[in-house]
């Protein structure tokens, strides 16, 4: 099998596994315990927090460790929504339909059960949220704006620095889901200007089941998981010490190796895009060609069932995705396909091909040799 689904998840780097291993058995203490076992565990969390803070150019106490990117999104959006409504009465939240379900489903829940008013921002034909769209939608009653750094399904990078500046001028909190972006884009929170930023380790060769939320000092936040006083009273529960260590090491390696990883995969990605558009009739690139994650190629093929194409690809030895890795069993086009204005005939036929540091040129040659006939077969079988 040739793995071409690195936006869904990545293998854990062997160096990350090595860093984590002692904390499963040798240094197994509860970081909340007073004795030496606990002190060792607590010290490892402290050093991990400092390591993450160095990458983000923030203070260690602005890093909250969570169980995943989705939990980080929930803590940011729910916590800030409740806090801002209590503080100012503001109860409008702005986000686009092209956001990850961790954001859109959270907002729908807040609207249905907590009375918040949700305004869905339009995206352009490439799935981008422009600063002009945000500026036009903001009002006096806006509590939070949430716009993802880069889209998981179509790879488009949003101008979050400019959007953050608009929010700052208007004294509105700005959150970005950077789960897809972290592997390849700069994460300096001061340069980006964000108030909150969500990360998940398994997108950059760390373990599944651990994430982080950056929260700028002074940002009001109500905890959504209550209990003990862990994570500065914002996220209760005994910390997952080995996974936190793994998160920090994976992020450190990502920062150190980001440029060489991008230089390795971007030419391979460009070859995929060029070859697919040249050799497969009724195909189009989804997402922005220029403002795009370097490892990400995504397409829509007219008149095919994307899930059928994935099955054919899997049988031929290629692991790809039809968009988000979160299966819904829904035969309709994804929210992202609808948001960028594709008809049902095009939107059902989406394909996402994402590369990683272990992807080889031979893998791409094999994939490009097989894909045209598999698309043709999928059209015939529909």
Cβ proximity of 165 and 193 under 8 Å: yes
Cβ proximity of 59 and 65 under 8 Å: no
Beta-bridge mates of residue 353:
297
Q: CA 35, CA 365: separation in Å to the nearest integer?
A: 57
Q: CA 63, CA 77: separation in Å to the nearest integer?
A: 16
Instruction: Give the helix/strand (H/E) hosting 212.
Output: strand 211-215
Structure tokens at 317: 């030895």
Q: Which residues contact 26 (CB under 8 A, 6 or more apart)?
A: none
For the question of residue 326 being annotated catalytic, the response is yes
Q: Residue 278: exposed, middle, or buried by beta-carbon count in 10 A (0-12, 13-18, 19+)? A: exposed
Structure tokens at 128: 């981008």
DSSP letter (8 states) at residue 157: B
> Which stretches within 89-218 are classed as H helix?
101-114, 131-137, 160-169, 189-192
**Active-site choice (68, 139, 167, 326):** 326
Range 362-371 burial, b when 16+ CB lie within 10 A, else e? ebbeebbebb
Of 66, 321, 102, 26, nearest in space to 208 by CA = 66
C-alpha dihedral (25, 26, 28, 31), degrees to nearest 10: -160
Structure tokens at 338: 């609808």
Structure tokens at 82: 């409740």
Cβ proximity of 287 and 350 under 8 Å: no
Q: Can you tell me whether residue 92 is helix, strand or coil?
A: strand
Ordered strands of the 296-301 beta sheet: 283-285, 296-301, 350-354
Q: Can you tell me whether residue 324 is helix, strand or coil?
A: coil
Active-site residue numbers?
Answer: 326
């Amino acid at each position: 099998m040739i793995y071409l689904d690195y936006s869904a998840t990545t293998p854990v780097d062997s160096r990350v596994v090595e860093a984590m291993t002692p904390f499963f058995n040798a240094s197994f203490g509860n970081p909340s315990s007073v004795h030496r076992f606990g002190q060792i565990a607590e010290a490892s969390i402290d050093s991990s927090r400092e390591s993450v803070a160095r990458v983000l150019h923030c203070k260690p106490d602005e890093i909250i460790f969570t169980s995943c990117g989705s939990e980080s999104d929930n803590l940011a959006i729910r916590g800030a929504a409740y806090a801002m409504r209590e503080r100012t009465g503001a109860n409008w939240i702005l986000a686009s339909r092209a956001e990850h379900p961790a954001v859109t489903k959270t907002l729908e829940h807040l609207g249905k059960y907590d009375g918040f008013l949700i305004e869905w921002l339009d995206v352009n034909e490439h799935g981008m949220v422009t600063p002009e769209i945000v500026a036009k939608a903001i009002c006096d009653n806006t509590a939070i704006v949430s716009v993802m750094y880069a889209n998981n399904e179509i790879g488009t990078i949003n101008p979050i620095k400019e959007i953050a500046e608009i929010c700052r001028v208007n004294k509105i909190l700005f959150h970005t889901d950077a789960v897809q972006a972290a592997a390849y884009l700069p994460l300096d929170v001061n340069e980006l200007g964000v108030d909150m930023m969500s990360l998940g380790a398994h997108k950059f060769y760390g373990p599944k089941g651990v994430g982080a939320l950056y929260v700028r000092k002074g940002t009001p936040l109500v905890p959504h998981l209550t209990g003990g006083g862990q994570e500065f009273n914002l996220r209760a529960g005994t910390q997952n010490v080995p996974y936190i260590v793994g998160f920090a090491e994976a992020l450190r390696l990502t920062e150190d190796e980001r440029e060489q990883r991008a230089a390795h995969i971007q030419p391979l990605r460009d070859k995929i895009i060029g070859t697919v558009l040249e050799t497969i009739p009724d195909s189009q690139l989804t997402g922005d060609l220029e403002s795009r994650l370097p490892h990400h190629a995504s397409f829509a093929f007219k008149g095919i069932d994307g899930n059928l194409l994935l099955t054919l690809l899997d049988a031929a030895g290629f692991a790809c995705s039809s968009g988000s890795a979160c299966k819904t069993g829904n035969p309709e086009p994804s929210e992202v396909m609808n948001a960028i204005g594709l008809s049902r005939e095009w939107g059902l036929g989406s394909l996402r091909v994402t590369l990683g540091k272990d992807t080889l040129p031979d893998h791409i040659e094999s994939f490009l040799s097989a894909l045209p006939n598999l698309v043709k077969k999928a059209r015939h079988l529909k």
